[in-house]
Amino acid sequence: MALYTHALVLIHNETDGLTLVNHVAGLAETLGSKLTLCHLSDEYHPLNYVFDNHTGGDGQSEALIEANAMLNRVAEMAALPADIAELVTIRQLKDVETFVDDNGIDVVIAGHKNRVMGTLTSWSAEFINHLSVDVLVHHL
């Protein structure tokens, strides 16, 4: 079994994030792993063909501020030392792969719910099939 030194924990929201981080805490403590909590946000600007920066509000910035605050709350409630990262992208798989390579991540940890929409919209299977590092999917 590989000993993981740096885990990337992908968090969708505060409720799921706290459940996932509490599960990961024991693993990180036992292995002495560094944790990075990350939220994937969709980047809307390249998809916005009708409005430009002068005509539309910037809901993207508000969403990023809220996501960053959520990650900080999860880290505080779990009482874990963790780095915080926000990936804003329309290419989730490619950008997660680049982040993993650039930051020495050796395991990606994600949550998954067995619901119809969760199965259709989850990136877990894509990460398992395409990332070059181990992927741990925890049922939420």
Least-confidence region, from 42-51, 95-104, 105-114, 121-130: 42-51
User: pLDDT band at residue 50, thresholds of 50, 70 and 90?
Assistant: low
Count of beta carbons in the 10 Å neighbourhood of residue 86: 16
Whether residue 113 contacts residue 138, with contact meaning beta carbons closer than 8 Å, is answered with no
User: pLDDT band at residue 107, thresholds of 50, 70 and 90?
Assistant: very high
User: pLDDT band at residue 8, thresholds of 50, 70 and 90?
Assistant: very high
Query: Mean pLDDT for the chain?
Result: 80
Q: What is the pLDDT of residue 28?
A: 81
Sign of torsion over alpha carbons 58, 60, 65, 66: positive
Helices of type H across 4-140: 14-31, 59-78, 92-103, 116-121, 124-130
Q: Per mean pLDDT, which of 27-36, 57-66, 93-102, 104-113 is the most reliable?
A: 93-102
How are beta strands 6-10 and 34-42 bridged, if at all? parallel
Q: What is the pLDDT of residue 55?
A: 44
Q: Which CATH superfamily is domain 6-139 in?
A: HUPs (3.40.50.620)
The span from the CA of 64 to the CA of 84, in Å, is: 12
Q: What is the pLDDT of residue 54?
A: 45
DSSP state of 46: G
- Between residues 51 and 111, the one the model is more confident about: 111
User: pLDDT band at residue 45, thresholds of 50, 70 and 90?
Assistant: low
Strand order in the sheet with 82-89: 82-89, 34-42, 6-10, 107-112, 134-139
Q: What's the rounded mean pLDDT across residues 39-48?
A: 64
